[in-house]
Amino acid sequence: MRTVVLIPARYSSTRFPGKPLVKILGKPMILWVAELAEKAVSKENVYVATDNKEISKVALEAGYNVVMTSSTCLTGTDRLAEAVTQIDADIFVNVQGDEPLASPNDILRIASYKKRNIDCVINGFSYIGENENVDNINIPKVVTTEENRLIYMSRKALPAIKDKKNTLDGYKKQVCIYAFTKEQLQQFTNFGRKSVLERFEDIEILRFLELKIDVLMVETESGSLAVDEPEDVAKVENAMIARGYKII
């Protein structure tokens, strides 16, 4: 089964225009993400899906595959659904272009779970760290069954605790590494619109619940940080420096 990594990258982000090209320690963020994906699946199996010529140019000059998509995609997952029509593979792993601290081991782990649970969509999660605010709406919180099947995902701090005698081991947060088949991506985009909850929360994976496709959440390594807003760049750079990365 051929496994490829797809990195959706659009220039016109509402909160952070040009985000894929922002310099992280001197290198465009999209290349940091492509390089960690390459460590997992090799360079020929890494694709950047974008509607922007500048992003395409940066990725192509670095030797990565690029699939050009339309500018009208509703979400990053809709962009992937458009891109996979041009790629011959069995498993498509989505690694978000704003997570330069994602782990290649987690990419392989999620791909492995997908091979064993082909009828499920696979998504990563980790526990919110002490330096993160559980009430931050940029961090989707994950509610699962005891077997880690997704029940719901919210920007609010869930689950709520009525009786203070009950305690959580920790809040789960989404890590934006996903695995799909081509058929699941086509079902997603054929829905034709954002689902009601997806639109309210602005969390696209909720659309799969409307499609009655189970989402299996897989725990990943801790320490992943996403660049959602310009002020997140410094946090991510500091975390990378702490891990031994150098300014280029």
Domains identified in the chain and CATH numbers: 3-242 (3.90.550.10)
Alpha-carbon distance of 237 to 204, in angstroms, equals 27
Q: Is the peptide bond before 159 cis (omega within 30 degrees of 0)?
A: yes
CA 101 to chain centre: 12
What's the pLDDT at 91? 98
Q: Token match 């069995």: residue?
A: 90
Percentage of the chain exceeding pLDDT 90: 79
Alpha-carbon distance of 122 to 154, in angstroms, equals 17
Q: Which residue has the higher pLDDT, 67 or 162?
A: 67
Inform me whether the pLDDT recorded for 224 exceeds 80: no
Inform me whether the pLDDT recorded for 14 exceeds 80: no
200 pLDDT band (50/70/90 cuts)?
A: very high
Q: Which two tokens stand for residue 216?
A: 């299996």
- CA dihedral of 16, 20, 22, 23, whole degrees rounded to 10: 150
Sign of CA dihedral 236, 125, 140, 90: positive
Asked if residues 64 and 43 have their Cβ atoms less than 8 Å apart, the reply is yes
Inform me whether the pLDDT recorded for 13 exceeds 90: no
pTM for this model (two decimals): 0.92
What's the pLDDT at 15? 72
Q: Token match 């952070």: residue?
A: 16
Q: Are strands 65-68 and 46-50 parallel, antiparallel or unpaired?
A: parallel
